[in-house]
Amino acid sequence: MASSKKVFDFKFSLLYFLIDEKKYDEVGPLINEMVQIFNVKTTNIEFIKKFLEVMHSRTGKISLIFNRGLIDYLWGDKKIGKRDLKYFIINADASCEK
């Protein structure tokens, strides 16, 4: 059986693609699963956030902001997480119209 870290990493990757493909109805249940298996001791949150920031600066994909905001809101700085999630909500509509 796969370790919880590998399962979490897989679900995190899946989360990115679901958001990128605008399959928002599948995001909530997946986040709930991730919260249950997340282990802050085996995950480098700052590395993941920096990776998402760099990829957003390269691609401009709004889904990366959502992922970073979610990580901060659930496991980091809630204030920053709320800011990023609010930014996503405001700008996701605009990116859907493109």
User: 12-50 pLDDT, tens per residue?
Assistant: 888 888 888 888 888 888 888 877 777 656 567 788 888
Domain positions in the chain are 4-96
Cα separation of 21 and 40, whole Å? Answer: 27
User: 64-92 pLDDT, tens per residue?
Assistant: 898 899 888 888 899 999 999 999 999 88
Residue among 80, 44, 87, 45 nearest 65 (CA): 87
Tokens in use for 31? 């986040």
